[in-house]
C-alpha cells in the first residue's frame, strides 16, 4: 500500500504511525511546507520518505491533515493529481466549506470528508502518537458521494485504527462540533487570557495553579494557526455557541449577585449530569 500524508503534524503523523503498524508493507510518504518538520518526521520514523504532489496518482490513500483554510485551497489541486483508484481523506474540524468547494469537482468520487475526534494540545511531527485514534469517533460526511470501492478502503483503514464511525451531513457536523469542541477551545483560550491579564506575577500563577486550572486551560496551548481558520470557517455556529455560553455565565453571575446560592447549587447539580453522559461513552 502506498500512502501520502499532507501535513505531518499531530493528526497526520499519528495516522502515519498507526498505518505503518497495521499495514506492515505500507510505504508512507510525507508532504509538509515546513521542511524542518518534514525532516524531523523522517528522523523519528513517523514517515518513510518525502513525497511530492506529482506522484499522487500512484498512491492508494492520500490523507490531508493541514489547517482547514489550507485544505479548502489544496484539496481541489490534490484531486486533480490523483489516480482513479486513489482515495483522498481530509481530517479537518469543519466540513461545510470543504464539501461545498469540492461539490462539482470531476473527481469528487475520490474524496471522503472525515473528522476524527482526537488530538492533544501539541503540534508538529514530534507530537505524533501511536493509537491516538483508538476508540475515538470519526465523523464521515456525504459518504454517498464517494465511490463505494474507495469507501470500503477508507472504512477498512478506520476499522484497523480502532475508530468508531458516525455519519452526519456537513451542516449538522459544523453545528454540533461548535458546541462540543470549538467552544471548549475558546473557553480555554479566554480563561488563560483572563488569568494572564489579572495575575501579573507569573510565579503566582505557577505556584497557585491547581490541577483544575491546568486541565481547564490545557487547550489554550493549542496552535492559533490551526484554530483561527476553524473559527473563521465555522463563524456563525461558533457565535451561536458563544451566545448560549455567555447567557449561562451571565446567569451564574446574576445568581451570585443576588446571593441566591441555593439556585446556584441546583444549576451546578443539574450540570453534574454531564458525568453520566461522558461515562456512557467509555
Domain ranges within the chain, ordered by starting residue: 2-168, 172-279
What pLDDT shows up at residue 210?
63
Per the listing, cell 483554510 goes with 69
CA dihedral 197, 199, 205, 209 (to 10 degrees): -80
What pLDDT shows up at residue 112?
98
182 DSSP assignment: I
Which cell goes with 84? 482513479
What pLDDT shows up at residue 276?
83
* CATH class for the domain made up of 172-279: mainly alpha
**Paired residues of 28 in beta bridges:** 3
Residues with Cβ within 8 Å of 189's Cβ and at least 6 positions away in sequence, in order, are 219, 220, 222, 227
Contact 46, 17 (CB under 8 A): yes
What pLDDT shows up at residue 278?
77
The fold of the 2-168 domain, in CATH, is: Rossmann fold (3.40.50)
For residue 67, give the nearest of 112, 98, 102, 24 by alpha carbon: 98
pTM: 0.89
Residues with Cβ within 8 Å of 176's Cβ and at least 6 positions away in sequence, in order, are 168
Contact 147, 178 (CB under 8 A): no
Angle, helices 235-257 vs 183-198, to 10°: value is: 50
pLDDT (tens, 9 = 90+) of the chain, 282 residues, equals 999 999 999 999 999 999 999 999 999 999 999 999 999 999 999 999 999 999 999 999 999 999 999 999 999 999 999 999 999 999 999 999 999 999 999 999 999 999 999 988 899 999 999 999 999 999 999 999 999 999 999 999 999 999 999 999 999 999 999 999 999 999 999 988 988 887 776 776 666 666 677 778 888 999 999 999 999 999 999 999 999 999 999 999 999 999 999 999 999 999 998 888 777 755
3-state secondary structure of 208: helix
Amino acid at each position: 500500500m502506498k500512502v501520502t500524508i499532507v501535513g505531518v503534524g499531530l493528526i497526520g503523523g499519528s495516522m502515519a504511525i498507526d498505518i505503518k503498524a497495521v499495514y506492515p508493507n505500507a510505504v508512507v510518504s510525507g508532504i509538509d511546507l515546513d521542511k524542518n518538520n518534514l525532516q524531523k518526521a523522517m528522523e523519528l520514523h513517523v514517515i518513510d520518505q518525502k513525497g511530492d504532489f506529482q506522484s499522487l496518482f500512484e498512491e492508494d490513500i492520500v490523507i490531508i491533515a493541514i489547517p482547514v483554510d489550507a485544505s479548502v485551497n489544496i484539496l481541489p489541486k490534490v484531486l486533480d493529481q490523483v489516480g482513479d483508484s486513489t482515495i483522498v481523506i481530509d481530517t479537518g474540524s469543519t466540513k461545510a466549506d470543504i464539501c461545498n468547494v469540492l461539490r462539482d469537482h470531476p473527481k469528487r468520487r475520490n474524496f471522503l470528508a472525515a473528522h476524527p475526534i482526537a488530538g492533544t494540545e501539541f503540534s508538529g511531527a514530534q507530537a505524533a502518537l501511536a493509537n491516538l485514534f483508538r476508540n475515538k469517533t470519526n465523523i464521515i460526511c456525504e459518504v454517498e458521494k464517494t465511490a463505494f470501492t474507495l469507501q470500503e478502503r477508507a472504512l477498512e483503514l478506520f476499522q484497523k485504527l480502532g475508530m468508531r464511525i458516525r455519519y452526519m451531513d456537513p451542516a449538522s457536523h459544523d453545528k454540533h462540533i461548535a458546541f462540543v469542541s470549538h467552544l471548549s477551545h475558546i473557553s480555554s483560550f479566554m480563561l488563560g487570557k483572563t488569568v494572564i491579564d489579572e495575575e501579573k506575577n507569573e510565579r503566582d500563577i505557577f505556584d497557585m495553579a491547581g490541577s483544575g486550572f491546568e486541565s481547564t486551560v490545557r487547550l489554550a496551548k493549542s496552535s492559533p494557526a490551526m484554530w483561527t481558520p476553524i473559527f473563521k470557517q465555522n463563524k456563525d455556529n461558533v457565535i451561536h455557541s458563544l451566545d448560549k455560553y455567555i447567557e449561562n455565565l451571565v446567569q451564574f453571575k446574576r445568581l451570585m449577585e443576588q446571593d441566591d446560592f441555593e439556585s446556584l447549587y441546583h444549576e451546578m447539580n443539574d450540570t453534574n449530569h454531564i458525568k453520566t453522559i461522558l461515562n456512557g461513552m467509555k
